[in-house]
Amino acid sequence: MENLSSKDYIPEVFRGGRGDITSHVGFIWQQAKAPVLVPLLKLMVFLCLIMSVMLFVERVYMGIVIVLMKIFRWKPEKIYKWEAIKEDLEMGNSAYPMVLVQIPMYNEKEVYQLSIGAACGLSWPADRVIIQVLDDSTDPSIKALKEQEVRRWASKGINIKYEIRENRNGYKAGALREGMKHSYVKLCDYVAIFDADFQPDPNFLRRTIPFLVHNPEIALVQTRWKFVNSDECLMTRMQEMSLNYHFMVEQEVGSCTYAFFGFNGTAGVWRISALNEAGGWKDRTTVEDMDLSVRASLKGWKFVYVGEVKVKNELPSTFKAYRHQQHRWSCGPANLFRKMAMEIVRCKKVSPWKKFYLIYSFFLVRKIVAHTVTFIFYCVVLPATIVIPEVEVPVWGAVYIPSVITLLNAVGTPRSFHLVIFWILFENVMSLHRTKATFIGLLEAGRVNEWIVTEKLGDVLKTKLGYKAPKKPRFRIGDRLHLLEISVGFYLFFCGCYDVVFGKRNFFIYLFLQSMAFFTAGFGYVGTFVPSSY
C-alpha cells in the first residue's frame, strides 16, 4: 500500500491494518479500478452520450415540425378530403356506411356501464351500426352484470351483441380476432375500437368516418385521449404530462410527415379491408395494436391522426397497475422491433425514407434509446462517476441536453409546468421498469408475453371509502414494498453521501432527491393505494 501514489489515494474509509477487511477491500478496489472499471465506465459514458444526442436530435426535430404545423395551421382536413356524411332522402340511412363498434372487456366491474352507455349513445343511424361487447371476464358475477347491461340497451332498440369465448387465448388480440369472425361483421366497412374505460362523445363517428369514406388510401383514423382523473393524485398528473407529449407531438408529427404512427389500441377507427389485408390481429407480442399498425403501413396504407377529437378515459391511479402497464408498453415494442426489423428492411411497398423513420426514429430512438438512456445514464453511470472520479461527464451531456429534452416534453402540459422537477424524478424511477422490460423484449426473456390488464378504479374509492374508512384495513407489506426501487435508492444515496464527503462535483443534491424518489416508490407511497380488504 506504501507504493500508491497520490493519484491512487484511498479514502480513509478503505484504510486499515494488514488484518483489517476494509484494507483488503480498498486494495482490491484500487487494483480493479484502473484496468477494468475506469475503461468500462468511460465506454458506458461514451455510449450514453451518443444515445442522449440521438434523443436530443429527435426531440428538437419533432419540436420544429410542431412549430411549423402551428405556423401554417396544418390540420388533417386540409391534407385529406373531409365532408360530413349527409342524409339522402332517396337512399335513406344507406348513405351511412355500416360500422362495427368493438369493446373488449375483462373483469371491469367499475367502468363497463360507462363505456357501453357511451358506445350506445353514438350519433349514427341505429340500423347502420353494430356494437359488439367482447367479454373475456372470468368472474361469473361480473359477466352476468355485463350481459344484463347489454340486454337493457338491446331492449331500447340498440343493435348490440354480447360475445364470449371459451378461453382467453391471445388476450385482447385474441378477443378482437374472434370478434371479427362473426357473420354479421361481413356487413360492416369500418370498425371502431374502445377499451372498457373509454367514453366517446356522440359525434365521434361523424368526425372520423368521413376521412375513411372520402380517402380510400387511409386505413386508420386515430383520436386523442382525454383523461378524466388526471387530478386524482400526483402520479396521474405525471402520466398526463408524458401522454400529452405523445399525443400532441409524436402522433401529430407521424401523421403529418409520414402518414404513420402507432395505433393506440383504442379510440380509433379501422378500415376492415385494410385490417384484413395486413393479416388481422396477432398475439405474438403484447402490443397487438402497434403490430397491426406496422404491418398495415408496410402494405402501403396511410394513417391520419385527428387530435381535435378527444375520447374520455381513465389513467391507472395505483402504482401496481401503472407498473404493469409500462412493462407491457415497453416490452412489447422492443419485442416487435426484434421480430419485424428485417421485414421492414425488405419491404418494397414503402419508401426508404419511411423505412428509416420506422426503424430509427419510431423504434430505435423512441422505444429503446429513450428508455435505456434515462435509467442507465442518469441512475447508474452518472452516479458511478462520483465514486470513480477519473471518469468525467461533459456538462452538455449531464445538464444541457437533458434540460432541453425535459422542457420540450413539458410544453405539452403547461398547467403542470411547475411540477417538472417531480416529473423528472418520477420518470427516472419508471425508467427502471421500462429499461428492464425493453431488454426482456429484445432478448425474448421470461416475462416477454406477460399480459396483465391495467386495473381501472372508476369510482371505487368514492363508493367504498365515501363516508368512513374501516378502522383497521388489511395491510400486507408485499402490497407496497418494491425491492428494485429500494435497491436503486440505496445505491443513489450511497453515491450522494460519497459526493458530500469526498466529491467535488456537487451532484449530491440531485442524487439525494432521486434516491428519495426511488425510496418513495419503493415503499409504496406513490399513486392511490387501495387496501386489499376493499
The residues annotated as belonging to the active site are 136, 289
Q: How far is CA 312 from the centre of its chain?
A: 17
User: Dihedral, CA atoms, 329, 331, 336, 339, nearest 10 degrees?
Assistant: 180
Whether the CB-CB separation of 139 and 104 falls below 8 Å is answered with no
| 80 within 8 A of 214, measured Cβ to Cβ | yes
What count of residues does the chain have? Answer: 534
Distances in Å between the alpha carbon of 226 and those of 12, 170, 223, 314? 56, 28, 10, 8
- Per DSSP, the residues of 308-354 read EEEEEE----BHHHHHHHHHHHHHHHHHHHHHHHHHHHH-SSS-HHH
Question: How far is residue 182's CA from residue 474's CA, in Å, rounded to a whole number?
Answer: 45
Torsion of CA 61, 65, 68, 70, to 10 degrees: -130
Burial 107-123 (b: 16+ CB within 10 A, else e): bbebbbebbbebbbebe
Enter the C-alpha cell of residue 344.
421492414
What span, in angstroms and rounded, lies between the C-alpha atoms of 134 and 29?
Answer: 60
Distances (CA, A) of 123 to 89, 201, 226, 311, 441: 18, 9, 19, 15, 41
DSSP 160: E
Residue burial 324-342, b: 16+ Cβ < 10 Å; e: rest: bbbbbbbbbbbbbbbbbee
